[in-house]
Structure 1
Amino acid sequence: MPTIRPVVVAAILTLVGGNAALAQSEPVPPPPAEAAPAPSPALSIDTPIETLVAAPAAKAALDADIPGLTTHPAYDKFKRESLRTLAPKFGGAITDKDLAKVQADLAALPQSLASR
């Protein structure tokens, strides 16, 4: 049976003893507190349209204020845009008045309803 050299045994004992002494001399910091989840950002005309459509209350507001937007044949092409960036591309079909109405309706939604 091979023998362990005394130098190796001394090194192991020093390491084990050193770590034990270190653990006893330094208090262990408490684990970091769980950060509270950030509140969901409010929905607005700057939110991507597909995000608005995913929230039933926001989709209902969109359907009421700009009928046909969510069923438009090109919806898949513009759904990642916000209403603010999309409006100028619709050649006046989405007016500033429409945007203001949608913004007011989205702002009036309680956050709990907006995300359901």
Structure 2
Amino acid sequence: MTKTLFAAAAAASLLLAGVASAQTAPAPAPTTSPAPEHENHAAHPTIDSTIEALVADPATKAVLDKHLPGLDRHPAYGQFKAMTLRQIAPYSQGNITDAKIAAIDTDLKALPTE
């Protein structure tokens, strides 16, 4: 277990160095209004889903690409894909902040349900 956690932490550190270098100009704000809080978002993964689940859904992958471009192309993706953004944040050297997670969460909640 410790070896797996260490590998995940190392992968997260490498990931964030790659994500930081891959970032570009911020994407324009979405043109749709946020969905009401009471709306069911079960059709898409949430901020508490694994990175792999977020990448597998085209709509949520677009949100990740907006905030963390290149995340799914990182060489260590296979080592951290089963973790959530909150789980890898402490190993991100400050690249995945609470504010960034909140922004991703807001965008995920704004996605239309199918």
TM-score tier by shorter-chain length is 0.5 to 0.7
Query: Any gaps of 5 or more consecutive residues in structure 2?
Result: 1-40
Equivalent residue number for residue 45 of structure 1: 47
Match of 1:81 in 2: 83
CA distance in 1, matches of 2:113, 2:91: 29
Q: Percent identity?
A: 49
Highest RCO, 1 vs 2 (Cα 8 Å, sep ≥ 6): 2
* Correspondence 1:90 to 2:92: yes
Q: TM-score w.r.t. structure 1 length? A: 0.58
State the 4+ residue runs in structure 1 displaced beyond 3 angstroms: 39-42
Number of residue pairs matched by the alignment: 74
Please give the root-mean-square deviation of Cα atoms over the aligned residues, in Å.
1.7
Q: Which structure 1 residue ranges, 5 or more long, are not aligned?
A: 1-38
Per-residue CA deviations over 1:64-98 (Å, capped at 9, x if unaligned) read 01112121111110001111111111121111121
Tell me how far apart the structure 2 counterparts of residues 50 and 103 of structure 1 sit (CA, whole Å).
16
Bigger Rg, which one: 1
